[in-house]
Structure formats: C-alpha cells, structure tokens
C-alpha cells in the first residue's frame, strides 16, 4: 500500500518520472516497485482505464467489512 501511496503522491504533485526516480534513489524504500506503480498510474491516466491495485485483498474489500 505504501508503494501505491508514494507513486500517487508523485502524480498528485505533478512530479515527472525522471524526478521521481532521482528522489527514490536517495530513499530507503522499494524503489523499483514504486516506479512500476508510477508507470501503471500514468498509463491509467493516459488511457482512461482505472488503475488496478496490486493489493490482495484490496483496501476495504467487501469481504473484510463487518456487518453491525
């Protein structure tokens, strides 16, 4: 989830991939995964096809919600 959030923030702040890669080089994090997700989000924006999370189950999956 953290990788998806990091990639989303790069898009939110309109940081290009080259700059995102440069920033990631200085941080201790799964750089390759964040940049892969960054590219997937860019492709989703370009094509209009919704981004699909890699999380399984996805956040707030219906099976994880308790009925009160």
24-43: per-residue pLDDT in tens?
888 776 688 899 999 999 99
Asked if 17 contacts 38 with a C-beta cutoff of 8 angstroms, the reply is yes
Tell me how far apart the alpha carbons of residues 22 and 68 are, in angstroms, rounded to a whole number: 47
Is the pLDDT assigned to residue 65 strictly greater than 60?
no
The model's pTM: 0.69
């Amino acid at each position: 989830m953290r990788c998806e959030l990091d990639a989303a923030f790069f898009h939110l702040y309109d940081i290009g991939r080259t700059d995102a890669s440069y920033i990631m080089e200085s941080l201790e994090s799964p750089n390759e995964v964040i940049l892969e997700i960054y590219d997937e989000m860019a492709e989703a924006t370009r094509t209009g096809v919704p981004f699909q999370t890699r999380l399984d189950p996805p956040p707030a999956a219906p099976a994880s919600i308790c009925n009160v």
